[in-house]
Amino acid sequence: RLIEPAIALSIVFVGAHALLYGNDKRDWRLIFAFCFGFVHGFGFANVLREMELPRAALGWSLFSFNVGVELGQACIVLAVAPLLTLFYRRSAALTGRAMAASSFGVIFAGAFWFAERLFPTS
């Protein structure tokens, strides 16, 4: 049961990195995507294993689940990116404050999920 708390901590990490190093010119996205995808993939695999799918269906189930997740994320980005671009063009200072506020939101959500997974109530 280490995977679910690790996933929650990865969310805390993303928020903290955006808050502390948002203006860093080095691009760490590829490394972050690989590491987080690796950890989150273990989480997906655990969920699929708990569903007791036939072994023959496991590969297809994991593939189709991941495709669904990626398509969902792409839809969110396609919907939100134009709004964020417009927001940034209107006020870079306000964008910085909004980024800090959203980073704190991500940190708190990840910390809550971490505590929830570390100390389950049921």
> What's at 49, amino acid-wise?
R
Nearest to 45 by CA among 74, 10, 3: 3
| Reported pTM | 0.74
How many Cβ atoms sit within 10 Å of the Cβ of residue 8?
21
Q: Which two tokens stand for residue 75?
A: 């839809």
Q: What's the burial of 110, exposed, middle or buried (CB within 10 Å: 0-12/13-18/19+)? A: buried
Going residue by residue through the chain, which has 122 residues, state the pLDDT in tens, using 9 for 90 and above. Answer: 788 999 999 999 989 988 888 777 677 777 888 888 888 888 877 887 788 878 787 788 878 888 898 899 999 999 998 988 888 888 877 888 888 999 999 999 999 999 999 988 87
Q: Tell me phi and psi for residue 94, to 5 degrees.
A: -65, -35
